[in-house]
């Protein structure tokens, strides 16, 4: 069973590239982030034609998350519990009704920049709520995967040059400690178990030739509950998608990251 995550940076702007990859890679389940459209504008028919069920939690212009699954989806939750005033579409959760069911959580964690503003405070609050929800999910004793664009660089090995990120919200000690806190609950970072050879990055900025110079960072992660970690069988970072173009569509600045469960 192949489960992926991909920050697509506008699902409609990059649809030909996305469909091309879905035909090739054929993930069983995929979490999308930054779809940048309301639910009604999500290209459901295009993905249904490839055999996917769609759960969408969109937002006009910004944010937006979705889960695409070849299996039925049930018990869908839209929005991270813990703050009814939060209007940003950054969290979606569903039970994937495969022969061996999986609870699949797709997140688009706040960026948090610039430091010293409410954007960073919001990021820390969001992480606290995520920690609480992640702890709740463990009590279900299910195979659970929390995946998506975490906007967190876990270690200095996960960025091309540490000094560039010291004043960035993605690399602040409090943020990295919060990520470690999720692991301390009992979740496993798939990358820690099965790092792919040759590349560890999942994002390359559009600016300053970052892609061409391989100045990347790892911010797209899969966290697995013990029941899921026991089935982990592989991890692939689809780096090649970062260099693809299709007519007028240029690639996302993120690439798909896929795990396999036995």
Q: Catalytic site residues?
A: 108, 149, 254
Q: Is 34 annotated as a binding residue?
A: yes
| Lookup: tokens for 218 | 């790892």
Q: Is 238 annotated for ligand binding?
A: no
Q: Is 151 annotated as a binding residue?
A: yes
7 is in an annotated binding site: yes
CA distance 46 to 42: 9
Q: Which residues contact 68 (CB under 8 A, 6 or more apart)?
A: 22, 27, 29, 30, 32, 47, 52, 53, 54
199 is in an annotated binding site: no
**184 a known binding residue?**
no
Report how far apart, in Å, the C-alpha atoms of 25 and of each of 19, 154, 192, 237 are: 10, 27, 23, 12
Strand ordering across the sheet containing 102-108:
73-78, 91-96, 102-108, 144-149, 220-224, 188-189
Percent helix, strand, coil in the chain, to 5, is: 30, 25, 40
Other CB atoms closer than 10 Å to residue 67's CB: what's the count?
24
Binding residues for Mg(2+): 7, 34, 149, 151, 253-254
Known binding positions: 7, 34, 149, 151, 253-254
């Amino acid at each position: 069973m192949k489960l992926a995550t991909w920050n697509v940076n506008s699902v409609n702007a990059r649809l030909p590239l996305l469909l091309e990859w879905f035909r090739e890679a054929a993930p069983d389940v995929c979490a999308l982030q930054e779809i940048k459209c309301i639910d009604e504008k999500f290209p459901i028919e295009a993905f249904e034609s490839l055999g996917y069920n769609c759960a969408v939690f969109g937002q006009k212009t910004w944010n937006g998350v979705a889960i695409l699954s070849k299996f039925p989806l049930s018990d869908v939750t839209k929005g991270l519990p813990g703050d009814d005033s939060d209007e940003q579409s950054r969290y979606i959760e569903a039970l994937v009704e495969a022969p061996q069911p999986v609870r699949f959580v797709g997140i688009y964690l706040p960026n948090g920049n610039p430091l010293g503003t409410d954007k960073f405070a919001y990021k820390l609050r969001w992480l606290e709520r995520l920690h609480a929800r992640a702890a709740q999910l463990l009590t279900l004793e299910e195979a659970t995967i929390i995946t998506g664009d975490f906007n967190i660089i876990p270690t200095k090995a996960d960025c091309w040059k540490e000094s560039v990120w010291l004043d960035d919200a993605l690399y602040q000690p409090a943020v990295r400690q919060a990520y470690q806190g999720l692991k301390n609950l009992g979740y496993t970072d798939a990358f820690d178990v099965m790092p792919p050879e040759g590349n560890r990055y999942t994002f390359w900025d559009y600016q300053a030739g970052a892609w061409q110079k391989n100045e990347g960072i790892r911010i797209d992660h899969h966290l697995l509950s013990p029941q899921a970690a026991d089935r982990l069988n592989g991890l692939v970072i689809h780096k090649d998608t970062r260099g693809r173009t299709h007519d007028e569509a240029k690639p996302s600045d993120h690439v798909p990251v896929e795990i396999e469960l036995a």
